[in-house]
């Protein structure tokens, strides 16, 4: 029998279950293991890590600090000692797990993108709204909102330091698929990944464009391209040792936003030499900002209100105690890393649960990103410009 949120609040600590133990499962587990050492958060316990391979998930659970492991997520989410479900499984599993967990009265954190399809995202958002009315919280894991430099950028824009924002450039570039002999993975199959670079990394850029500007994307002209059509198969699915790639390697889009803002978007997993570069440029009437994830402790800022003879981008090293999140970490001058964004994410999610407030980004915000992803795909297929329909 599942407990009500009121009964959960009466207990001493929240029980957490994580579903998925690979790349994202490891990153999230690291956050759960460390967050209470640096932030004042409600008491919780790392109860169980869930995965399909019993031996592998048991080994991961022991390494990542979980009390136990399991292979059946359906059983886990019905347990009375589980209050929070953290979904790190591939996108094709998100909708089933999240909806079931929300209906069981569990708070849900789910990795981006929200789902593989717009229809699944809509179902998840409806379930989240219904659960929220019962005090059950939900959040999508766009962890780059928790990069202190980007959180500072958001503050500067909101304070009017850039004046009126006119346009944004966002490019997320990787090269892990640049080699045509790189083997097939679930991320290259439409049925498991939904899309390629578009959903995997462009979703982060889309979220940042909207998060930083405070506006929403309303118009899309998109292009998708697959450069390597077949890759070495890792199972028996391929013919002659090869399997068809059914998602995009790279994506481009020209975007129109409310507030009369224009934006360009680029994402690639075949950009040779680029390891994990999310570069964002925001241009306004009174100033500009630049950021690159490969230098995540730095923010470039130009104050266009200064005399022309003094203007130029200056480097802000974002590690002062009064910068977002950094009062919890090291003395000034000591940088933090990519993994800290997940710790900040868990901190914010737990704080929202404690305070009974809806965390951000919400499933509604995740759905809005999904609508843009869907529009880029449709625009690319039809070679057209689309108005983004918000539900």
Q: Would you kindly state where each structural domain of the chain is located, as residue ranges?
A: 5-144, 148-295+297-334+368-385
Q: Residue 38: what are its φ and ψ, rounded to 5°? A: -125, -25
Secondary structure of residue 264 in the 3-state scheme: strand
Question: For 7-21, how does the pLDDT look when each residue is reduced to its tens digit (9 = 90+)?
Answer: 444 458 999 999 999
pLDDT confidence band for 237 (50 / 70 / 90): low
DSSP character string of 269-301: S--TT-SSEEEEEEEESSEEEEEEGGGTTEEEE
Question: For 146-168, how does the pLDDT look when each residue is reduced to its tens digit (9 = 90+)?
Answer: 999 999 999 999 999 999 999 99
For 11, 82, 100, 333, the CA distances from 3, given in Å and listed in that order, are 11, 9, 14, 46
Overall fold of domain 5-144: Rossmann fold (3.40.50)
Overall fold of domain 148-295+297-334+368-385: Dihydrodipicolinate Reductase; domain 2 (3.30.360)
Question: For 186-201, how does the pLDDT look when each residue is reduced to its tens digit (9 = 90+)?
Answer: 999 999 999 999 999 9
pLDDT at 239: 56
Topology agreement, domain 5-144 and domain 148-295+297-334+368-385: no
**Percent of the chain residues topping a pLDDT of 90:** 93
Cβ neighbours of 218 (radius 10 Å): 18
- Which distant-in-sequence residues (6+ apart) come within 8 Å of 231 by Cβ? 180, 181, 182, 183, 184, 188, 242, 243, 245
**Cα–chain-centroid distance for residue 136?**
20
Compare 241 and 109 and report the one with higher pLDDT: 109
Q: What is the mean pLDDT of residues 101-113?
A: 98
- Mean pLDDT over the full length of the chain: 95
pLDDT confidence band for 311 (50 / 70 / 90): very high
DSSP code at position 91: G
Q: Residue 251: what are its φ and ψ, rounded to 5°? A: -140, 145
Check whether 265 has a pLDDT greater than 90: yes
**Percent of the chain residues topping a pLDDT of 70:** 95
Q: What is the mean pLDDT of residues 228-241?
A: 79
H or E segment and range at residue 96: helix 94-103
Nearest to 367 by CA among 169, 130, 95: 95
pLDDT at 9: 46
Cα–Cα distance for residue pair 50/43, rounded to 1 Å: 21
**pTM of the prediction?**
0.94
């Amino acid at each position: 029998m599942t407990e009500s949120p009121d009964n959960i609040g009466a207990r001493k600590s929240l029980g957490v279950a994580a579903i998925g133990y690979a790349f994202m499962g490891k990153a999230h587990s690291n956050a759960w293991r460390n967050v209470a050492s640096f932030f004042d958060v409600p008491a919780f316990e790392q109860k169980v890590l869930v995965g399909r391979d019993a031996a592998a998930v048991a080994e991961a659970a022991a390494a990542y600090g979980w009390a136990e492991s399991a292979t059946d997520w359906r059983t886990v989410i019905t347990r009375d000692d589980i209050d929070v479900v953290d979904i790190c499984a591939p996108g094709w599993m998100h909708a089933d797990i999240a909806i079931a967990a929300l209906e069981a009265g569990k708070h849900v954190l789910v990795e981006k993108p929200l789902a593989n399809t717009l229809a699944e995202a809509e179902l998840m958002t409806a379930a989240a709204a219904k659960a929220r009315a019962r005090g059950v919280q939900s959040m999508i894991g766009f962890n780059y909102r928790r990069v202190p430099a980007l959180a500072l950028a958001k503050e500067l824009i909101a304070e009017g330091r850039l004046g009126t924002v006119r346009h944004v450039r966002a490019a997320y570039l990787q090269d892990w698929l640049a080699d045509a002999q790189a083997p097939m993975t679930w991320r290259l199959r439409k049925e498991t990944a939904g899309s390629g670079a578009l959903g995997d990394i462009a979703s982060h850029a889309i979220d940042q464009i909207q998060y930083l500007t405070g506006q929403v994307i309303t118009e899309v002209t998109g292009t998708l391209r697959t450069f390597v059509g077949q890759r070495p198969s890792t199972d028996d699915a391929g013919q002659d040792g090869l399997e068809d790639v059914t998602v995009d390697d790279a994506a481009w889009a020209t975007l129109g936003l409310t507030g009369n803002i224009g934006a360009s978007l680029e994402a690639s997993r075949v950009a040779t030499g680029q390891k994990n570069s999310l570069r964002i440029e925001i241009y306004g009437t009174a100033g500009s900002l630049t950021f690159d994830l490969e230098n995540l402790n730095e923010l470039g800022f130009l104050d266009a209100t200064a005399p022309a003879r003094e203007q130029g981008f200056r480097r802000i090293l974002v590690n002062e105690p009064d910068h977002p999140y950094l009062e919890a970490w090291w003395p000034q001058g000591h940088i933090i890393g990519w993994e800290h964004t997940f710790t900040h994410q868990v901190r914010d999610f737990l704080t929202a649960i404690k305070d009974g407030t809806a965390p951000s980004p919400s499933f509604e915000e995740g759905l809005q990103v999904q609508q843009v992803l869907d529009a880029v795909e449709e625009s690319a297929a039809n070679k057209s410009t689309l108005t983004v329909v918000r539900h």
